[in-house]
Structure formats: C-alpha cells, structure tokens
Amino acid sequence: MGRDAALADCGYLATPPSWDEVSLDGIVAVSRILSGLLGRALTPSEAARLKTAWQAGSPRTLDSIAEALDPQRRELR
C-alpha cells in the first residue's frame, strides 16, 4: 500500500489514489522492462521522453503515458 492510500484510509486524504495510476516507482520499472526488451539501457533522450510522458498524464495510467509517447496513437482512436 502506498503512502497516499494509507493517508486516505486514515481519513487524511479526501480522494484515494486510483489503482490504475502508475507511480514513479512504476515508471522506473517500466524503463527497466524497456531496457530489457531493447537489450540496452535507455538513452538520456528516451528516459527524458518517458519521464515527460509520465508527468503529462492525468491520471497517470499506462494508456495516458503511451499516448503522450506516441501522438499518432491518439489519432487512431
């Protein structure tokens, strides 16, 4: 359970976090998965794009991150 979830359970946070949202730890795990698939570490540019996409999403879901990384994907919907 994350900090925000614990605060919500105790009544200190009005809205509990969505379990669909990707945490910063989650985006680090995604970058490690991508590195494994690519067979190399992400370049600084790739890592920056991933971080920017994570910061842009609201809510921060894998789908919103994917859309931020690939604008053409939005056009297909």
Q: For residue range 61-76, list pLDDT tens digits in order.
A: 888 888 888 866 655 5
Query: 17 with 4: CB under 8 angstroms?
Result: yes
What are the domain boundaries of the chain? 21-76
Tokens representing residue 55 in the block: 């910061």
Question: Which of residues 17 and 40 earns the better pLDDT score?
Answer: 40
Mean pLDDT over residues 7-27, rounded? Answer: 69
pLDDT at 23: 82
Tokens representing residue 66 in the block: 């994917």
Q: How far is CA 30 from CA 9, 12, 21, 77, in A?
A: 28, 30, 13, 24
Which CB contacts under 8 angstroms, 24+ apart, belong to 2-5?
none
Confidence check: pLDDT of 54 > 60: yes
Confidence check: pLDDT of 31 > 70: yes
| Other beta carbons within 10 Å of 32 | 12
